[in-house]
Amino acid sequence: MLTDPLTTDAQDANYDESKIPAYTLPDPLTFNDGSTVASSDDWETRRSEIVQLFKDHVFGAMPARSPETQRVVFKIFSESSIAFRVDPDDLESELVEAKLKEFDIVLGVDGSGKEHRIRMLLVLPGNDTTNTPVFLGYNFQGNHTVHSSKKISLSKVWNRDRECATALESTRGSKSSRWPLGLIVSKGYGVATVYYGDVDPDFDDEFQNGVHPLYPELQGREDNWTSIGAWAWGLSRMVDFFESIPDVDGSRVAVFGHSRLGKTSLWAGATDNRFRVVISNNSGCGGAALARRQIGETVKRINTVFPHWFCLQHKSYNDSVHEMPVDHHMLLAAIAPRPVYVASAQGDQWADPKGEFLAAFHASPVYRMLGLKGLGIAIDTDSENVESVQAPKMPVLGKRIGDRVGYHIREGKHDITRYDWEQFLSFSSRFLR
């Protein structure tokens, strides 16, 4: 029988807290030159430093944002009406009307003659809404997997032989449990999704395909533009697109993602402050989890199996993660003062739920400095019990905590569930309304 290297690695990884090496986290509130971030006036400067550190050492450079040269043109591919049950498992539940729109969006660079096409599925509440706040996130296997409706076109997807072909009809709606569209639309929000492989196919081809050929100058360097960097950049281009259509309110976009796409949503949120709310689900190593804990998936393992996700410089920390000038609480902090949500699953130890929670905890002092409440766990700074200050207790299962930094851990495996969405919706409502 063939052994799946992913499963074997996950089984062989360390899950023993007592084997975590002692570590000290870099301080998001200390400038690179060692001086202290004294007031909220300093924060934007320090925030830019942190984003730059993540570009240099983790996710790589991004194309400079230039509305003059970056073109986003689009055409409507299809438009139809639909109705969803708020709870598809309950045929008595409310039926909500919605609109489905598919757009072909062309990303291009003026003067270069190069362009790249992606297809977005936009689900809007009601029949004629404008200025809708939306949840924007990639899907893993094609837009047609988010719902069984035949009104959604089958995506062209990259298969394991790395060929791009039209997806099979049988995969329609196969991931609908992750996309409770009726619930989301019933609260007045839209949902926008793009197949992530449309922006960059997820395999190591030394950045020959996807959007990478648009900016070849960003390759062949230590801070090369990576796949996570490309997916995050793509999300920003989708906000450019929203800003040009009446259907969506481009200033009320919550970006979300699961797993590798949760790493991506955090990076998009840090690099583009137009995202009003940022949500990561089970994002783990390279996402919300603290790298220095080296429990579950490690920096070395992720760099080895997914070399295209992170920049060359990141590989230099494979055996010396304590030397990274950042850790991932700073990725969350780089989103401040905007709200950020971290979701974990108890059965997803590979993603280190405790490390995800601790990152949210250690990002919170930044919010406090800004006069806001982060995770909102009271810390007794006079306490002599250093342990309780540095290692707060894990929140109980199935209970959301936090204010501008939100967190929950639920039972169950690595996945996005209706429960997760209920939390995202209620956390975001304060900021999107």
Q: Is 414 a catalytic residue?
A: yes
Instruction: Choose the catalytic residue: 155, 259, 265, 344.
Output: 259
Mark 277-316 with x for binding to ligand GCU (rule: CB under 6 A) and - for no binding: -------xx-----------x----x--------------
Q: Determine the Cα–Cα distance for residues 241 and 253; give it in Å rounded to an integer.
A: 12
Contact status: 46 vs ligand GCU (CB under 6 A): no
Contacts of 268 by beta carbon, 8 Å cutoff, 6+ apart = 231, 232, 233, 235, 236, 255, 275, 278
What's the min distance (Å) between Cβ of 104 and ligand GCU?
A: 26
Contact status: 259 vs ligand GCU (CB under 6 A): yes
What's the min distance (Å) between Cβ of 285 and ligand GCU?
A: 5
3-state DSSP call for residue 197?
helix
For ligand GCU, give the closer residue by CB, 265 or 423. 265
Q: 219 φ, ψ to 5°? A: -105, 170
Q: Degrees (nearest 5) of the Cα angle 123, 132, 254? A: 80
| 235 and 199 Cβ atoms separated by less than 8 Å | no
| 343 and 405 Cβ atoms separated by less than 8 Å | no
Q: Is 259 a catalytic residue?
A: yes
- Could you tell me the two tokens for 217? 């100058």
For ligand GCU, give the closer residue by CB, 6 or 83. 6
Number of residues that bind ligand GCU (CB under 6 A): 6
For ligand GCU, give the closer residue by CB, 141 or 429. 141
Q: Determine the Cα–Cα distance for residues 176 and 159; give it in Å rounded to an integer.
A: 20
What's the min distance (Å) between Cβ of 413 and ligand GCU?
A: 11
Residue 213 CB coordination number (10 Å) = 13
What's the min distance (Å) between Cβ of 286 and ligand GCU?
A: 6
CA dist list (Å): 347 to 84, 285, 393 = 30, 15, 18
Instruction: Choose the catalytic residue: 149, 316, 414, 429.
Output: 414
What's the min distance (Å) between Cβ of 302 and ligand GCU?
A: 5
For ligand GCU, give the closer residue by CB, 135 or 306. 306
- Catalytic (active-site) positions: 259, 414
Residues lying near ligand GCU in the complex (CB under 6 A): 259-260, 284-285, 297, 302
